[in-house]
Amino acid sequence: MSGLPKKILVANRGEIAVRVMRSCHELGIQTVAVYSEVDRKALHVRMANEAYCIGPAPSSQSYLRGDAILEVAKESGADAIHPGYGFLSENAGFAQKVLDAGLVWIGPKPFAIQAMGSKTESRARMVAAGVPVVPGGTEPIVSPEEALSIANDMGYPVMIKASAGGGGKGMREVSKEEELIPAFNAARSEARNSFGDDSVYIEKRIIRPRHVEVQVLADQHGTVVHLFERDCSIQRRHQKVVEESPCPVLLPETRRAMTQVAIQAAKAVHYEGAGTIEFLLGEDQSFYFLEMNTRLQVEHPITEMVTGVDLVQAQIRVASGEALSFSQEDLQQKGHAIECRVYAEDAANNWAPSPGLLRCYTEPSGPSIRVDSGVYEGSEVTVYYDPMVSKLVVWGENRADAIRRLKRALNEYQILGIQTSIPFFQALMDDADFLSGVYDTGFLTQEKMNQLTAYDDSIDPDLVAALAILALEKDLTLKPAVSKRQHSKWKWFYQEKR
Amino acid sequence: MSGLPKKILVANRGEIAVRVMRSCHELGIQTVAVYSEVDRKALHVRMANEAYCIGPAPSSQSYLRGDAILEVAKESGADAIHPGYGFLSENAGFAQKVLDAGLVWIGPKPFAIQAMGSKTESRARMVAAGVPVVPGGTEPIVSPEEALSIANDMGYPVMIKASAGGGGKGMREVSKEEELIPAFNAARSEARNSFGDDSVYIEKRIIRPRHVEVQVLADQHGTVVHLFERDCSIQRRHQKVVEESPCPVLLPETRRAMTQVAIQAAKAVHYEGAGTIEFLLGEDQSFYFLEMNTRLQVEHPITEMVTGVDLVQAQIRVASGEALSFSQEDLQQKGHAIECRVYAEDAANNWAPSPGLLRCYTEPSGPSIRVDSGVYEGSEVTVYYDPMVSKLVVWGENRADAIRRLKRALNEYQILGIQTSIPFFQALMDDADFLSGVYDTGFLTQEKMNQLTAYDDSIDPDLVAALAILALEKDLTLKPAVSKRQHSKWKWFYQEKR
Amino acid sequence: MRYEITLNDQVFLVEVNKTETGYTYAIDGGEEQHCSAERLSFNRHALLFRQRSVDVQYSLDEDAEIHFEGRRYVANIMDPRKKSIKMASGGSGDVVRSQMPGRVISILVSEGDTVSKGQIVATVEAMKMENPLKAPRDGVIASVDVAPGDLLEAKGVLLSLRPVD
Amino acid sequence: MRYEITLNDQVFLVEVNKTETGYTYAIDGGEEQHCSAERLSFNRHALLFRQRSVDVQYSLDEDAEIHFEGRRYVANIMDPRKKSIKMASGGSGDVVRSQMPGRVISILVSEGDTVSKGQIVATVEAMKMENPLKAPRDGVIASVDVAPGDLLEAKGVLLSLRPVD
């Protein structure tokens, strides 16, 4: 064993870069940030020991430029690279180049990334490994007739999916026979336009499915443990919005089976490091492999909170060749953790992005609350990257306690200058269906969104008085010339909806 | 059961008032703050739903005025009072008045406060309950001759202590016979001056003792559980500075015995609510009852972090008549937690207080870190109250992880305007004796303090450049008149010591 | 001093004055009340209405934004003596803007169309997503200022509204 | 622009100039170096020295205080062209002050005594505790300005020092 890295380059930005650097600093490891031209003042640059500009704002010219990042690694003398999530984290070619440069890649071997990167290949591998998959072929289907015959055999509803797909592109649900052929043709054409590859396959549509995923951690010595599950069924446009652990409806025997299957899946690709196996969970507790994410997940903090394991520290240790310091028996799922992804988005307006300057930014605090953030008061949410502002993660002795704490924390958040999804979360935490724990990935229907973003028109008179007082205070302290300009200015007005 | 209170008056200030209010808000309970004239802008006032001024700055004219506080309870319609720690929290007379006013007192019954409030009475009760106490009489000793005979029988070293004592006043250590009589007379005179009561007693001095205390929680239905121990041996002038849980040297069988004894002690006074039984732990794992604190402790967060129990929520629930929702078997001590009390004090200068305006104040953040604070950037640490700025509490999978995380968090703290004990903690976290875990209450000798506050004279050239750049930036943006004044001003200079 | 404050389409006229102990105010000619207001920093005040404690963060620099009891509000604050200036520069909700830089995908209304509040009137592509823009109030389209394909700056105007006749 | 910066009794003369991309500086006539400095808020800057990233909070209002890489420093920054003013108002460490309001308990030195840096020269009771005050540097007591029992304001001066002859 050659010991831990001395200096880690974090090939990412935002909250995940900050979070990774914190673990590095705790291990006494120096950190190198890379940044694009608009990110000079970003929190991850401020947090790092060294920082290098790698190009203009668009990701394709900065955070996705593997060559520039390897340059920086060489120049800075970094001996390892942590990719975070997104960007280059699941790029097997980049991982290989990192290894070829003699650096430690804090992630699985390129082979595992590749094997799990293609839906068709990963599905075939999982079937071979005895992992349950959603009924349906993994082979690309070329003719409408073949599609029809497969779908009829399987029974409706079915899903048509693009082999190279993601983010809902090239995906169609078909609930009866006569809809199949038009949907098949549309999916192929969309897949071709989106991915340059028109391969599609058909699988059984699971009714009222939940998205439940299992965190695994594997060292280079063949040990694989699981860190229990996360339920990520609250989604909009196939993007996770709220995650919780444990899954409120998972039966103990299903948990045992699902986590065992997850370990099987990881072993099937000789997995190393932290990874996540995503499943669909049916109403009858049947579950089916969806895909594997060969990197740290956005929602990893809820697993850290219920298990006490620092996943980033564990990633660094196993990538350095250390054996896992704990066994499966040491791991417990204690209490309940929930994460809300606070986005610069207007939930009431079809999640329209709301970039801008954070005129005020105060995070909640107190017992069992964690805020992972890449922003600060005065920083800007730009249009160039994912508009996530921060992740609010809370822990409670049980689900009800965690929800109570979340409500309190959401009320303590103070963000001005942009619209955020906080009002949506505040409404969600009072929603009877969410509180029941019985929901599925279709939870956020248009109707539910309308309920959760319903406009409360009542105005507190003290709020009106507060505005008048602050305006007067400002007028009294400003020079007349400035205050004149202030008053003549036309202002857009609305209340944040919830 | 009449349910939880609707509105709780928090008869305290600073971080503990804020922390109590957070739990209230999580339970949907309204909060009432009381404040002194200098605390109008204090964080606990801002956090509360309602706030009432109860008098001038000195505690005796505000936070200690039980009558004024009961007035506010009546006026605001509060149905319960939480006393925090310090101030009126261990005042049996006030607790009785709260009950007489028909309000819920979030603490033990006045009888228990009283019984444990006097060192002599509590010791006698503990002996009767079979709790081991430090060898020595509990009876006040009146003549020097009697003192000499007792001490000679017991063997040296011995401690002379004031019956009504606290904070080291009226306390003397005597290591040989010829020193006894002068020390006895001095202790009596100091006790008389400090407490208006010259009763003293003599007990055996334990060699290299650790201060280890057990958290208990009791409901009104006779159930008492313990939440394991806290080691508070890092002290200066008998004040705790750093606390950790678990105690690094406590053997499992000693832990079992000590926690059982703590439950016995609580049952002996029909204890209700959260309380702490303090013990001296000898090098040979023998332990002796010291005293019981009949309230929440400053260091309660480390217990919350290792057990997951929200002690304030539990206090509110049991005071409302609820049975404990968990049994002893449900409680585990998981991982390791450490608290540093960040004070506005100059550790290098004999812990001289350093009140002032917090010109900058940024707290650390990230996984498994909790900061309980009653201050904010722009607020003032006054001379009127305890100069604690905030409590930094971290959790780690083990002691080494917790210490690493603490170091990282201490480096993230940014406080300007006052001197704090942070540099002391930074040095402590590198101290080999502290890292070994083998220390006792005499750890902070003058010699150790000198080591920990040794002056590092080296100056980073980039620091010098930073100052010049910031000065220039300021000069370029200021009007000449102001900048002239700035430069002509004489400035005191020094480096914060560590 | 008097301010006209618009919040959620409701307009309030507030008379406010500084006193030795804080501020007195009266809303829409109602009872005069007192508030203690302490400045905490450039964008934060601690208010006490009678005994109610409210901690506000605010920004009066561009929009009048305030965070009050767990919620963010955006308001319009006007000095009524300068009302004419307001009229000249356009009443509230008289235009449809894109909050972000982007490209116009579609315009769903024409000049003279009657629209109701919340009706989707255009879509803009920004941050790789289609974003619908809604009418801020009931009204009639006074002008369409852009066409599909046009590039927009942040806060760029697409349409303007006039009251229903 | 030139500044004389005193830190830990060490004096540095820094030549610093603003450029298009940041600042150039030279310490004590050494090599000219570059630093990028971005203002984040009224009391915070993000600095890049070559590739080293340092985030500083500072306050130049009363004392020159800075938080640099996990540590707080208090410095003296002077414009050497105005050095005469400094001389008139007293060199650094020329007085012993109490940081807090309190009462003088004892004065342990007399006029003319030679003291060494760190030597306890007086004690003051403040916040219910006895606080020792130390000599800020080697020197000779030039004057004793207070007597035991005297009340002190915050930053009140007790003694003044002059250099060892």
Contact B22 A411 (CB under 8 A): no
Picking from A169-173, A229-233, B65-69, which range would have the lowest pLDDT averaged per residue?
Answer: A169-173
Picking from A61-65, B34-38, B340-344, D8-12, which range would have the lowest pLDDT averaged per residue?
Answer: D8-12
Give the residue from A17, A95, A73 showing the smallest Cα distance to A385.
A17
Contact residues, C window 17-56, toward A, CB-based 8 Å cutoff? 17-18, 23, 25, 27, 33, 35, 37, 39, 43-45, 47, 49, 52, 54, 56
Going by pLDDT thresholds of 50, 70 and 90, the confidence category of residue D14 is: very high
State the pLDDT at residue C87.
Answer: 33
Going by pLDDT thresholds of 50, 70 and 90, the confidence category of residue B356 is: very high
Contact A28 B368 (CB under 8 A): no
- What does pLDDT average to over chain A? 92
Other beta carbons less than 10 A from residue A376's beta carbon: 18
Going by pLDDT thresholds of 50, 70 and 90, the confidence category of residue D60 is: confident
Going by pLDDT thresholds of 50, 70 and 90, the confidence category of residue B139 is: confident
Contact D46 A41 (CB under 8 A): yes
Other beta carbons less than 10 A from residue A177's beta carbon: 12
State the pLDDT at residue D145.
Answer: 84
Which residues in chain B are closer than 8 Å to D37, comparing Cβ atoms?
A: 469-470, 473
For B52, the closest chain C residue by CA position comes to: C51
Chains A, D: CB pairs < 8 Å: 32
Contact C38 B40 (CB under 8 A): yes
**Minimal C-alpha gap between A75 and chain D (Å):** 10
φ, ψ (nearest 5 deg) of residue B479: -70, 150
State the pLDDT at residue A40.
Answer: 96
**Minimal C-alpha gap between C88 and chain B (Å):** 36
Q: Is the pLDDT of residue B384 over 70?
A: yes
Q: What is the mean pLDDT of residues A210-231?
A: 98
Q: Determine the Cα–Cα distance for residues A371 and B365; give it in Å rounded to an integer.
A: 8
Q: Give C157 or A451, the one with higher predicted confidence.
A: A451
Q: Is the pLDDT of residue A492 over 50?
A: no
Q: Which of D59, D79, D90 sits opposite B490 (nearest CB)?
A: D90
Q: Which of D52, D85, D136 sits opposite B488 (nearest CB)?
A: D85
Q: Which of D25, D39, D92 sits opposite B465 (nearest CB)?
A: D25
E strand map for A195-272: 200-204, 210-218, 224-236, 239-245
Q: What are the pLDDT digits (tens) for B267-302?
A: 999 999 999 999 999 999 999 999 999 999 999 999
Which residues in chain A are closer than 8 Å to C25, comparing Cβ atoms?
A: 465, 468-469
Q: What is the mean pLDDT of residues A281-287?
A: 94
State the pLDDT at residue A2.
Answer: 61
Q: What are the pLDDT digits (tens) for A319-333?
A: 999 999 999 999 999
Give the residue from A94, A115, A116, A117 showing the smallest Cα distance to A105.
A94
Give the residue from A444, A395, A447, A396 showing the smallest Cα distance to A421.
A444
**Minimal C-alpha gap between A313 and chain C (Å):** 33
Which residues in chain A are closer than 8 Å to B28, comparing Cβ atoms?
A: 404
**Minimal C-alpha gap between D67 and chain A (Å):** 14
State the pLDDT at residue B480.
Answer: 41
DSSP 8-class letter at B157: S
Contact A468 C79 (CB under 8 A): no
Q: What are the pLDDT digits (tens) for B430-442?
A: 999 999 999 999 9
Q: Give A462 or D131, the one with higher predicted confidence.
A: A462
State the pLDDT at residue C130.
Answer: 74
Contact residues, A window 309-368, toward C, CB-based 8 Å cutoff? 349-350, 352-356, 359-360, 362
State the pLDDT at residue C40.
Answer: 93
Contact residues, B window 280-309, toward D, CB-based 8 Å cutoff? none
**Minimal C-alpha gap between D56 and chain A (Å):** 9
Catalytic residue from among A125, A210, A255, A295 = A295
State the pLDDT at residue D62.
Answer: 62
Q: Which of A494, A496, A497 to mutate to test the interface with C (most CBs of C within 10 A)?
A: A494
Which residues in chain A are closer than 8 Å to B225, comparing Cβ atoms?
A: none
Which residues in chain B are closer than 8 Å to C56, comparing Cβ atoms?
A: none
State the pLDDT at residue B486.
Answer: 35
Q: Which of C40, C51, C52 sits opposite B41 (nearest CB)?
A: C40
Q: How far is CA A52 from the centre of its chain?
A: 26
Q: Is the pLDDT of residue D88 over 70?
A: no
Which residues in chain D are closer than 8 Å to A75, comparing Cβ atoms?
A: 51
Which residue(s) pair with C57 in the sheet? C44, C67
Q: What are the pLDDT digits (tens) for A244-262?
A: 999 999 999 999 999 999 9
Q: Which of A349, A410, A462 sits opposite C52 (nearest CB)?
A: A462
ipTM associated with this complex: 0.83
Going by pLDDT thresholds of 50, 70 and 90, the confidence category of residue B207 is: confident
Contact C51 B52 (CB under 8 A): yes
Q: Is the pLDDT of residue B166 over 80?
A: no
For D54, the closest chain A residue by CA position comes to: A46
D110 shares contact with chain A (CB less than 8 Å)? no
Q: Which of A415, A471, A490 sits opposite C89 (nearest CB)?
A: A490
State the pLDDT at residue A400.
Answer: 97
**Residue B230 Ramachandran class (φ > 0 left, ψ -120 to 50 alpha, else beta):** beta
What is the value of pTM for the model shown? 0.85
State the pLDDT at residue B23.
Answer: 98
Q: Which of A22, A311, A426 to mutate to test the interface with B (most CBs of B within 10 A)?
A: A22
φ, ψ (nearest 5 deg) of residue C147: -130, 155
Q: Determine the Cα–Cα distance for residues D25 and D45; give it in Å rounded to an integer.
A: 17
Q: Determine the Cα–Cα distance for residues B279 and B211; give it in Å rounded to an integer.
A: 6
Neighbours of chain A (3+ CB pairs under 8 A): B, C, D
State the pLDDT at residue B136.
Answer: 80
Q: Determine the Cα–Cα distance for residues A491 and B15; give it in Å rounded to an integer.
A: 40
Q: What are the pLDDT digits (tens) for B460-481?
A: 999 999 999 999 988 887 544 3
State the pLDDT at residue C123.
Answer: 85
For C56, the closest chain B residue by CA position comes to: B46
Q: What is the mean pLDDT of residues A363-372?
A: 97
Q: Which two tokens stand for residue A308?
A: 């006490």
Q: Give C99 or B261, the one with higher predicted confidence.
A: B261
Q: Determine the Cα–Cα distance for residues A52 and A63; give it in Å rounded to an integer.
A: 12
C68 shares contact with chain B (CB less than 8 Å)? no
Q: Is the pLDDT of residue D87 over 50?
A: no
State the pLDDT at residue C62.
Answer: 63
State the pLDDT at residue B234.
Answer: 97
- What does pLDDT average to over chain C? 84
Q: Determine the Cα–Cα distance for residues C21 and C36; give it in Å rounded to an integer.
A: 6
Chains A, B: CB pairs < 8 Å: 81
Q: Determine the Cα–Cα distance for residues B94 and A105; give it in Å rounded to an integer.
A: 63
Asked if B11 and B69 count as a contact pair (C-beta separation under 8 A), the reply is: yes
State the pLDDT at residue B487.
Answer: 34
Q: What are the pLDDT digits (tens) for B98-107?
A: 999 999 999 9
A368 shares contact with chain B (CB less than 8 Å)? yes
Q: Determine the Cα–Cα distance for residues D14 and B462; give it in Å rounded to an integer.
A: 11
Q: Determine the Cα–Cα distance for residues A21 and B426; give it in Å rounded to an integer.
A: 19
What are the CB-based long-range contacts (under 8 Å, 24+) for B250-257? B250/B212, B250/B281, B250/B285, B251/B285, B254/B281, B254/B285, B254/B287, B255/B228, B255/B229, B257/B287
Percent of residues, chain C, with pLDDT higher than 90:
38
Contact C27 A465 (CB under 8 A): yes
- Locate tokens 């940041």: which residue? D22
For A404, the closest chain B residue by CA position comes to: B26
State the pLDDT at residue C93.
Answer: 59
Q: Is the pLDDT of residue B307 over 90?
A: yes
DSSP line for D105-155: EEE---TT-EE-TT-EEEEEEETTEEEEEE-SSSEEEEEE---TT-EE-TT
Q: Which two tokens stand for residue B396?
A: 């780690």
Q: Determine the Cα–Cα distance for residues C69 and C74; give it in Å rounded to an integer.
A: 14
Contact C53 B40 (CB under 8 A): no
Q: Is the pLDDT of residue B453 over 70?
A: yes
**Minimal C-alpha gap between A194 and chain C (Å):** 13
Q: Determine the Cα–Cα distance for residues A261 and B5; give it in Å rounded to an integer.
A: 48
Percent of residues, chain B, with pLDDT higher than 90:
80
Whether the ω angle into residue B144 lies within 30 degrees of 0, i.e. cis, is no
Q: Which of B350, B420, B467 sits opposite D75 (nearest CB)?
A: B467
Longest dimension (CA), chain D: 58
A71 shares contact with chain D (CB less than 8 Å)? no
Q: What is the mean pLDDT of residues A392-402?
A: 98
Q: How far is CA A134 from the centre of its chain?
A: 23
Q: Give B485 or B365, the one with higher predicted confidence.
A: B365
Q: Which two tokens stand for residue A455?
A: 């406009």
Q: Determine the Cα–Cα distance for residues D157 and D98; give it in Å rounded to an integer.
A: 7
Which residues in chain D are closer than 8 Å to A379, comparing Cβ atoms?
A: 40
Q: What are the pLDDT digits (tens) for B410-425?
A: 999 999 999 999 999 9
State the pLDDT at residue A485.
Answer: 34
Q: What is the mean pLDDT of residues C26-48?
A: 94
Q: Which of A26, A372, A408 sits opposite B25 (nearest CB)?
A: A408
Q: What are the pLDDT digits (tens) for A80-102?
A: 999 999 999 999 999 999 999 99
Contact C53 B377 (CB under 8 A): no
Amino acid, single-letter form, for residue D89: S
For B393, the closest chain A residue by CA position comes to: A367
Contact D36 A378 (CB under 8 A): no
Q: Which of D38, D41, D52 sits opposite A50 (nearest CB)?
A: D52
Contact B469 D25 (CB under 8 A): yes
State the pLDDT at residue C154.
Answer: 72
Other beta carbons less than 10 A from residue A185's beta carbon: 15
The answer to whether B236 is a known catalytic residue is no
Q: Determine the Cα–Cα distance for residues B435 and A179; give it in Å rounded to an integer.
A: 69
Q: Which two tokens stand for residue A316?
A: 């660094």
State the pLDDT at residue A104.
Answer: 98
State the pLDDT at residue D101.
Answer: 75
